[in-house]
Structure 1
């Protein structure tokens, strides 16, 4: 099978996994909110954010491990690949030993770290304990997923994640229905599933990459230094991400109220799904781009980037615009106990950046493949600092708009960074004109504008009175939007080839 086939397989399974994850969240979230209240959903998301804070350390070692192992492997240096793998193995064990006592202290004194109202304190503490434990288990399983990246077989990981998501939903519905309602069930079930899946990751590691395994004799401080010197910029990048969006719930909890935190958490469901969608697309194109870079094949990289950008535009812009136009109707049906107008506005502010970024966000893979992370990471942190300053001033002088300021500021800054930093810098790394990528951004905006017209026209003609009519409208918008984007994004030759393929099948 060709490398392109596996890339497509990675993408298809990744998208299917995202759909399954969103579907389970779609059914579980109102179930949890109804059973526990909006605050409980907010605490669950806030606990996940605390894990993101801890990942600032682990990202420095783990984010570039797959890249270094892959490059060494495809350059024919198996011993070097073993050295990188064995070194990150030891580094992760050391990180667990370092972070474990810190997480225990945070969990025990949690009521002194965040505001806990209207819920059982012990219940919230157990929630955090299980999420922290799941984070440590994830560090272990990530070691065995390196083989999937190297062999461009991420579809195995996608399938495992899909199975875990389905089992997670079934088990949560079961425990919430059969046992007394507790918040920590959410993280406890996730922890158990992560533990049960470790043998599967070990199996695929041994099957896909049997000649690269842990051996203490191959541990190398030089390898640690190589990965840390590059990976530290991903940690800096992660820090910038936290400063822009990772503190949303914490700021809402501390400066507004736990209920406001719950509203923000619910409103981030769709933006989080879009981010997950974008991440899935990026991750599944990353191995092939890294392989082409290792081989010095710039022609293949440009072809892959063009295809990936166009695919990303279609896959991301259609759900973004559809939601922005039908958001009020969606929240009225999905979360009838909460204000649909507030939730829709918050969600639109959270999605706003992707209206511009969708498509060209695939270019982040170039930073990893080329091992040029510094500029991207430093500008991300700079924008994050600016975000915190603006949000703090906004909360102080315009408290009436507190939630909107918290959510919307980061989106505006993300758009500015993409246009002013990312596109020009990637163009420089690839040695091409930056107008190539600005044209792709312009195409994204045109596609979103056309899709908006389609969605509003259908909404005006077809009245939504329930889930059935809502689903019909969404399907109509989706089909027409995809057709319009295929016309806008494909050239005459590409459209001709598709018509020939269809006619042959007939």
Structure 2
């Protein structure tokens, strides 16, 4: 039953990701052409500022779903209600307070960053909507607990698919009917957040009808407990921001808005690849949390390794294909831009995700085991080192945005290859080298897929969407074969063949 549920969750999550990717694929060049790359760069920068604001809310929310899920599976609904109510009411208070600094940032935005005067009002409107969306999402995000705690992520994926189509409908309607403005992106995001909240409420009532917000359940001790545990997530987030979350801001201040726009375009597809990694990895989070709640370490480790393999399987195929066919893709996708520079920046950014494809599943263990302190300090230290090196290179070299993008990639790779797998093993009380055989096979498979993709890309002599699609199909097939033999062991390959035969047999029944 669990295998069937896992397959449904993975399939629905990937479909949701592909729909989102497809929509961004179509909309991004249209928006860049309509409002300009400088204006488009401020969309990514606004989202980065939201990530800075999340430092304030993260301490409370980082482990909220973990604690609630564990209480539910311990069959302690009163305890689950206390955590749920305490988080929701505390989020309402925090969001109300944050209205003041958000308003000040929007009013004096041109004093903080470089904004061309001709798009100042548009950028202010965009940021107002983005911040409002953030505040509403802060209050409502905890209601997503129902699909997580019951391991029904297929429902949340369906909701994401619906919201993505809603977003594209709103954007196309606004851009076609009215004069183009960049702040339409903010309107679309805000409406989609409200839609997701309504569906989350529906799923909570359907799947966890006993979970309610009642003032009598509020307990300040729980808020303090969550903040005390979550403060390490804040430190981790700060380190991540220093590592790569300041890229657009540094480029805006130390170079110019045009360079920021180029970097934003270059980071669009790699960010989508990171979205794929997160999408697949998150499918396993509910079951990993359940195994931990049931004190079943052996099952947890087996599930974790399965998550690493499946996440890596999808990631290195997407990553390798993009690297190999990047020049063709960007020439067709954003013609007229500096394709060579965009491709270089894209590859640099993707390199940071090469190891991330298999490592990302490990990050959740810090939250699940509530052992965040050491990881937080390491990430913060790497973030400080990253930012320091970037500033030194900007002052002493002519690397420009190559330094901004490149340093974060290198520091990320070093941390993920050295610290993360060893410390996760320690958190689970298993041998420190437990994950390295799998990581080694994944890297070997990834490098081989990239090599094959480069070979296929070099055969494309005339850029066209048809040649790109054909090349992508061959890259995908090659990636499947390489992963089949290098990433999975003999037993897993046998089980995979057995599953395929069962599916084929059912199709003929």
> The TM-score by the shorter chain falls in which range?
over 0.9
How is 1:362-401 mapped onto 2 (pairs within 5 angstroms)?
362-398=361-397, 400-401=398-399
User: Aligned pair 1:296/2:295, yes or no?
Assistant: yes
The residue that corresponds to 1:29 in the other structure is: 28
Q: State the TM-score, normalizing by the size of structure 2.
A: 0.96
Answer whether contact 1:86 1:213 (CA < 8 A) is retained: yes
The C-alpha deviation readout for 1:46-85, integer Å capped at 9, x for no partner, is 1111111111111111121110011111112221111100
How is 1:9-24 mapped onto 2 (pairs within 5 angstroms)?
9-24=8-23
Answer whether contact 1:10 1:155 (CA < 8 A) is retained: yes
How is 1:162-241 mapped onto 2 (pairs within 5 angstroms)?
162-241=161-240
How is 1:434-449 mapped onto 2 (pairs within 5 angstroms)?
434-449=432-447
Write the distance in 2 (CA, Å) between the matches of 1:167 and 1:39.
Answer: 26
Q: CA deviation at 1:219?
A: 0.8
Q: CA deviation at 1:498?
A: 3.2
The residue that corresponds to 1:133 in the other structure is: 132
The residue that corresponds to 1:339 in the other structure is: 338
SS at structure 2 position matched to 1:211: coil
Q: CA deviation at 1:194?
A: 2.0
CA RMSD in angstroms comes to 1.5
The C-alpha deviation readout for 1:438-464, integer Å capped at 9, x for no partner, is 112211211012112321332344434
Q: CA deviation at 1:118?
A: 5.8
Q: CA deviation at 1:360?
A: 2.2
How many residues are treated as equivalent by the alignment?
Answer: 504
Answer whether contact 1:47 1:131 (CA < 8 A) is retained: yes
Q: CA deviation at 1:420?
A: 2.2
The residue that corresponds to 1:320 in the other structure is: 319
Answer whether contact 1:281 1:312 (CA < 8 A) is retained: yes
The residue that corresponds to 1:412 in the other structure is: 410
The residue that corresponds to 1:89 in the other structure is: 88
Answer whether contact 1:172 1:189 (CA < 8 A) is retained: yes
Write the distance in 2 (CA, Å) between the matches of 1:469 and 1:244.
Answer: 37
Write the distance in 2 (CA, Å) between the matches of 1:462 and 1:131.
Answer: 41
SS at structure 1 position matched to 2:400: helix
Rate the CA distance shift 1:470–1:105 in 2: closer, same or farther, 3 A.
Answer: same
Q: CA deviation at 1:298?
A: 0.9
Write the distance in 2 (CA, Å) between the matches of 1:118 and 1:319.
Answer: 39
SS at structure 1 position matched to 2:270: helix
The residue that corresponds to 2:491 in the other structure is: 493
Write the distance in 1 (CA, Å) between the matches of 2:265 and 2:436.
Answer: 33
Structure 1, 279-288 or 451-460: larger mean CA deviation: 451-460
The residue that corresponds to 1:243 in the other structure is: 242
The residue that corresponds to 2:49 in the other structure is: 50
Write the distance in 2 (CA, Å) between the matches of 1:120 and 1:105.
Answer: 19
Answer whether contact 1:7 1:288 (CA < 8 A) is retained: no
SS at structure 1 position matched to 2:168: helix
SS at structure 1 position matched to 2:176: helix
Write the distance in 2 (CA, Å) between the matches of 1:20 and 1:503.
Answer: 28
Q: CA deviation at 1:222?
A: 1.6
- List alignment gaps of at least 5 residues for structure 2: none
SS at structure 2 position matched to 1:359: helix
Write the distance in 1 (CA, Å) between the matches of 2:347 and 2:311.
Answer: 19
Answer whether contact 2:442 2:487 (CA < 8 A) is retained: no
Q: CA deviation at 1:492?
A: 2.2
Q: CA deviation at 1:501?
A: 4.2
Q: CA deviation at 1:283?
A: 1.9
Write the distance in 2 (CA, Å) between the matches of 1:28 and 1:42.
Answer: 14
Write the distance in 2 (CA, Å) between the matches of 1:444 and 1:337.
Answer: 36
SS at structure 1 position matched to 2:328: helix
Rate the CA distance shift 1:153–1:313 in 2: closer, same or farther, 3 A.
Answer: same
The residue that corresponds to 2:473 in the other structure is: 475
SS at structure 2 position matched to 1:119: helix
The C-alpha deviation readout for 1:254-308, integer Å capped at 9, x for no partner, is 0000000000000001221122112212222111100000000111111101211
Write the distance in 1 (CA, Å) between the matches of 2:248 and 2:499.
Answer: 49
The residue that corresponds to 1:70 in the other structure is: 69
The C-alpha deviation readout for 1:397-449, integer Å capped at 9, x for no partner, is 01x21101101111111111112211111111122223221112211211012
- List alignment gaps of at least 5 residues for structure 1: none
SS at structure 2 position matched to 1:296: coil
Write the distance in 2 (CA, Å) between the matches of 1:461 and 1:184.
Answer: 41
SS at structure 1 position matched to 2:474: helix
Write the distance in 2 (CA, Å) between the matches of 1:280 and 1:95.
Answer: 28
